[in-house]
């Protein structure tokens, strides 16, 4: 069973508009972490934002915010005021404890295209 | 933020040869490093987890003898692809995590092409 699901293979947004990238997860571990990474065409993975399962407030980092709905097991990324440079692949990931090691499980990714 | 480097950024080799990829944490001590593989238009697949000074933990289906991982110091881990074949051609990315930290920081990746 998939542990991280990103249902949007591709998304389009107009420059300066906001966009929401969906992510749902599945875990029975009460302690977990959720991450979003951006991967431009150059290939590097850029850390954007982190939400811990016990965090009371939704995480925000500049134009990025994470809409964390624990009961629904969703952790959507909201990008406000989109810029052309935001065009990239976006991956949602969950930190899972397994055998004492914390490892990341990645979703399939969403390709975001920002249009002028 | 934390900086992780990878070397080389790309490599082309002949079938049957071995290739070593280095991953370094430049401004923090990485107690744990991770190696991922990514095929075109696909997500990252974790290959193995390594802790400094101990043997790597490989994911199911990853051949230990083919993908040798060494984590000799708190700032360096290496992945050696032994007897490479064309099907090993891929994008290999490492990440590093500091002690007690939640976030993994990624290197820029290494594109391996085996002819």
A99 touches chain B (CB under 8 A): yes
Interface probe for B, chosen from A23, A40, A44, A88 (most Cβ of B below 10 Å), is A44
The token pair at B109 is 């990746």
Query: Which of A42, A102, A109 is closest, CB to CB, to B43?
Result: A109
* Cross-chain residue pair B46–A35, CB shorter than 8 Å: no
| Choice between B58 and A31, residue whose per-residue pLDDT is larger | B58
Q: Which residues contact B16 (CB under 8 A, 6 or more apart)?
A: B83, B84, B85
Residue B42: CB atoms within 10 Å: 13
CB < 8 Å from B in window 6-35 of A: 33, 35
Q: Do the Cβ atoms of B46 and A33 come within 8 Å?
A: no
Are A102 and B97 inside 8 Å of each other by CB?
yes
Q: Which two tokens stand for residue A64?
A: 């990025």
Say what the pLDDT of residue A65 is. Answer: 97
Which residue is associated with the tokens 């700032």? B75
The SS3 call for residue B86 is helix
CB pairs under 8 A between A and B: 54
As a whole number, the mean pLDDT across chain B is 92
pLDDT at A30 over 60: yes
A50 touches chain B (CB under 8 A): yes
- The answer to whether the CB of A91 falls within 8 A of the CB of A109 is yes
**Contact call for residues B71 and B77 (beta carbons, < 8 A):** yes
> What SS3 class is residue A85?
helix
* Half-sphere exposure at residue B28, Cβ-oriented, CA atoms within 13 angstroms: 19
Chain B residues near residue A103 by CB distance under 8 angstroms: 34, 46, 49
* pLDDT tops 80 at residue B59: yes
* Tens digits of residue pLDDT in A51-90: 999 998 999 999 999 999 999 999 999 999 999 999 999 9
Report whether A80 contacts A18 (CB < 8 A).
Answer: yes
Query: Is residue B98 within 8 Å of B30, Cβ to Cβ?
Result: yes
* Rounded Cα distance, B94 and B110, in Å: 9
The model's pLDDT over A4-18, given as tens digits with 9 standing for 90+, comes to 999 999 999 999 999
Confidence bin at B2 (pLDDT 50/70/90): confident
Residue of B9, B21, B33, B43 to mutate, testing the A interface (most A Cβ within 10 Å of its Cβ): B43
The DSSP H or E segment spanning B89 is none
Three-state DSSP class for residue A86: helix
Contact B49 A101 (CB under 8 A): yes
Kindly tell me the burial class for residue A101, based on how many C-beta atoms sit within 10 Å of its own C-beta (0-12, 13-18, 19 or more).
Answer: middle
Provide the pLDDT for residue B88.
Answer: 96
Q: Do B43 and A52 touch (CB under 8 A)?
A: no
Could you tell me which chain B residue has the CA closest to the CA of A39? B108
**If you average pLDDT over residues B45-57, what whole number do you get?**
89
- Which of A47, A105, A109 has its CB closest to that of B103? A47
Contact B23, B110 (CB under 8 A): no
């Amino acid at each position: 069973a998939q542990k991280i699901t990103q249902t949007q293979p591709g998304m389009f947004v107009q420059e300066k508009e906001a966009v929401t990238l969906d992510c749902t997860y599945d875990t029975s571990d009460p302690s977990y972490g959720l991450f979003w990474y951006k991967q431009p065409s150059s290939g590097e993975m850029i850390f954007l934002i982190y939400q811990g399962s016990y965090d009371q407030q939704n995480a925000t980092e500049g134009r990025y915010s994470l809409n964390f709905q624990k009961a629904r097991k969703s952790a959507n990324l909201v990008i406000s005021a989109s810029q052309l440079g935001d065009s990239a692949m976006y991956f949602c990931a969950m930190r899972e404890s397994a055998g004492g090691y914390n490892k990341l499980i990645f979703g399939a990714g969403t390709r975001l295209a920002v249009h002028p | 933020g934390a900086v992780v480097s990878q070397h080389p950024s790309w490599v082309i080799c002949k079938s049957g040869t071995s290739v070593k990829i280095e991953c370094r944490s430049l401004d923090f001590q990485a107690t744990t490093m991770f190696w991922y593989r990514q095929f075109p238009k696909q997500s990252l697949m974790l290959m193995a987890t390594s802790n400094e000074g101990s043997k790597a933990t490989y994911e199911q289906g990853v051949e230990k003898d083919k993908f040798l991982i060494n984590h000799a110091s708190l700032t360096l881990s290496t992945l050696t692809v032994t007897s490479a074949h064309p099907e090993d051609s891929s994008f290999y990315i490492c990440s590093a995590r500091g002690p007690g930290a939640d976030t993994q920081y990624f290197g820029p990746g290494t594109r391996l092409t085996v002819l």
